[in-house]
Amino acid sequence: MLSESARQRIDQEVAKYPPEQKQSAVIAALSIVQQEQGWVSPEAQQAVADHLGMPPIAVHEVVTFYNMFNTRPVGRFKLNVCTNLPCALSGGGTAAQYLSEKLGVALGETTPDGVFTLQESECLGACGDAPALLVNDRRLCSFMRAERLDALVDELRAEAAKGGTQ
Ligand code: FES
């Protein structure tokens, strides 16, 4: 379930901690698995647990606590729209609804072409820039009202057509 390359990378992370604290590398290990496989399947969670000597339920708790881990396959671009209170008061819900209608998918769904997955997100730490949105857990986008959402979707569609990711 873990590739040789993933094992090597995880072991590099494990080496940063004392031997009896291998579990401290769990987030790094899960990130490596997700980078490689696109999501963290139950089998991958088990493999990480075995590799780090952790109870599988402890790994599962980490996977389900952090929004960045995908518990099922996602599209090429995962759009996490913040709908927590500060964003909600400044158009977060409206942004999520706008994207839902524009992409033709409900929150939590992936477009049939596999390009976009739309999700609600917890606070992204950018409350003053609401509505805030995160692309693929890395690119933070601010003030995402209709015009900027249109531009972002166009940009990402063009990127997908070229075969790239962000
Ligand atoms: S509430 Fe949306 S970024 Fe904080």
Ligand 1 in contact with 127 (CB < 6 A)?
yes
pTM: 0.87
pLDDT higher than threshold 60 for residue 165: no
Mean pLDDT value across the chain:
95
Ligand 1 in contact with 140 (CB < 6 A)?
no
Atom of ligand 1 nearest to the CA of 124: 3
**128-156 burial by CB neighbour count: b if 16+ within 10 A, else e?**
ebbbbbbbbbeeebebbeeeebeebbeeb
Query: Given this model, what pLDDT does residue 30 score?
Result: 98
Ligand 1 in contact with 95 (CB < 6 A)?
no
Query: How far is the C-alpha of 154 from the C-alpha of 135, rounded, in Å?
Result: 14
